[in-house]
């Protein structure tokens, strides 16, 4: 098959961002398929370009790089401009690149524009990948406050779903939301995957920094911002000031990073740390040696549908997870007994929970083993790439109904 993938945030393991598209596309090319990814320059990716448009071959993947920089620190207007610029610019490739199937990976929802161009002007088979729920996410973040624009965005969202031969949701929550709100059931759920060879293989002789040595490290990796409830982690560290054995570590970048660094210095907190972004192959040692990984998303029904890559990476590393949503992740952790849910924004209560866990040495060994096992069974990138390829093949053969339930591994996804 000839597969064209429109995705603005492409990164390899050398970058500090999720590698789902890289991992899947690499396996597809190794199986003899032609994969072209049309992307831009994301601040957390390792991609670089010296020309306006540049083509690179990365591990067999043909990557068309549009030299537009996207950064979470940009103003909302600037980010919206880059989203539209990418969608219009990439529409040229939707018109000109040969393809049996086109994948448009959202967010942002504007990536649907080249998908629709390929679908209606070139007659391509279209798969719409919903990584999160746009425009809901943009509205939640305050990036789309105008009610008229919101209404137009929702209409465009439905148009993208309707045009797609198949919708691929990254979580069961997203899949169920689309079915409930829009009535579209031509969908499957293929979650974020993890590189088991990387995160599941113990890293030897890489000790943590001295400031973390001997501590029970609660690790957060990713964007440091309001949606990710980063202030909750800082306030929890303050509540844990007297517990020298528990440390809160954030590794990443984002809108609140400098503010929290300043507060940390002002309060002289000995148990709160923020490290810069690091490549996946460096990050893995920290995740493996952490006591707990935390996914502290802001409490909002929309975020209950999220599929954070950090969850899968932590489980693959055998690191139990503590998280704050009330959606599918809560159900998943309860079913597989590989983590905890904390349904509150009270840092004192979170500190109390962490202290109780720290004072009980019995729970972690078995939970760590269960985390590793469930990651290998459900989140292996190689198997999920195969499942996705099967879905694309069925779409090309005009059999989207055959993708309703790909394998037993995804039974928990579709309920």
316-355 exposure pattern, b = at least 16 Cβ within 10 A, e = fewer: bbbbbbbbbbebbbbebbeebebbbbbeeeebeebbebbb
How far apart CA 111 and CA 129 sit, in angstroms, is 10
Portion of the chain with pLDDT greater than 70, in percent: 96
In order of 201, 337, 355, the CA distances from 333 in angstroms are: 22, 5, 20
Mean pLDDT of the chain: 90
Give 409 or 136, the one with higher predicted confidence.
Answer: 136
pTM (predicted TM-score)? 0.87
pLDDT for 219 beyond 70: yes
Question: Does the pLDDT at position 297 exceed 60?
Answer: yes
Choose the weakest-confidence range: 3-7, 82-86, 134-138, 266-270.
Answer: 134-138
Q: For residue 296, give the H/E element and its range.
A: none
d(CA 241, CA 237): 6
Query: Whole-angstrom distance between the N-terminal and C-terminal Cα of the chain?
Result: 30
For residue 407, pLDDT over 50 is answered with: no
* Rounded mean pLDDT, 123-128: 96
Closest CA to 219 of 116, 292, 131, 122: 292
Rounded average pLDDT over 175-183: 90
Q: Is 202 exposed, middle or buried (0-12, 13-18, 19+ CB in 10 A)?
A: exposed
Q: How far is CA 391 from the centre of its chain?
A: 21
**Distance between alpha carbon 175 and the CA centroid of its chain, in Å?**
15
| 272-275 and 292-295 strand pairing | unpaired
What domains can you pick out in the chain, each with its CATH number? Answer: 2-193+380-409 (3.40.50.2000), 196-377 (3.40.50.2000)
Across 11-15, 94-98, 134-138, 406-410, which has the greatest mean pLDDT?
94-98
Weakest mean pLDDT among 139-143, 153-157, 379-383: 139-143
């Amino acid at each position: 098959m000839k597969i064209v993938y429109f995705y603005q945030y492409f990164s390899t393991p050398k970058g500090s961002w999720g590698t789902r598209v890289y991992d899947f596309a690499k396996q597809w090319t190794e199986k003899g398929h032609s994969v072209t990814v049309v992307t831009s320059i994301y601040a957390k990716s390792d991609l670089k370009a010296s020309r306006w448009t540049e083509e690179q071959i990365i591990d067999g993947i043909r990557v068309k790089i549009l030299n537009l920089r996207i950064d979470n620190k940009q103003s909302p207007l600037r980010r919206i401009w880059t989203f539209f610029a990418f969608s219009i610019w990439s529409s040229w490739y939707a018109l000109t690149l040969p393809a049996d199937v086109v994948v448009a990976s959202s967010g942002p929802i504007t990536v649907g524009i080249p998908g629709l161009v390929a679908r209606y002007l070139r007659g391509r088979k279209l798969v719409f990948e919903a990584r999160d729920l746009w425009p809901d996410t943009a509205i939640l973040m305050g990036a789309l406050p105008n009610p008229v624009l919101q209404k137009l965005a929702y209409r465009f969202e439905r148009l993208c779903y309707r045009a797609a031969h198949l919708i691929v949701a990254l979580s069961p929550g997203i899949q169920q939301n689309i079915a409930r709100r829009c009535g579209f059931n031509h969908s499957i759920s293929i979650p974020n995957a993890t590189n088991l060879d990387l995160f599941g293989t113990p890293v030897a002789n890489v000790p943590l920094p001295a400031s973390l040595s001997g501590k029970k490290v609660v690790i957060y990796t990713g964007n440091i911002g309001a949606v990710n409830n980063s202030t909750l982690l800082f306030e929890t560290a303050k509540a844990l000031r007297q517990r020298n054995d528990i440390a809160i570590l954030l590794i990443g970048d984002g809108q609140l990073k400098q503010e929290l660094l300043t507060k940390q210095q002002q309060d002289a907190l000995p148990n709160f740390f923020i490290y810069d972004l690091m490549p996946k192959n460096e990050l893995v040692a920290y995740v493996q040696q952490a006591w707990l990984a935390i996914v502290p998303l802001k409490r909002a029904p929309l975020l209950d549908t999220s599929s954070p890559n950090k969850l899968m990476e932590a489980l693959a590393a055998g690191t139990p997870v503590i998280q704050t949503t009330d959606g599918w992740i809560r159900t998943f952790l309860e079913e597989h007994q590989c983590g905890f849910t904390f349904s509150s924004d009270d840092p004192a209560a979170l500190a109390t929970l962490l202290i109780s866990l720290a004072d009980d040495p019995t729970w972690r060994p078995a939970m760590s083993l269960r985390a590793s096992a469930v990651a290998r069974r459900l989140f292996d990138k190689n198997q999920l790439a195969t499942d996705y390829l099967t879905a694309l093949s069925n779409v090309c053969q005009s059999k989207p109904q055959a993708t309703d339930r790909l394998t037993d591994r995804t039974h928990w996804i579709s309920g």
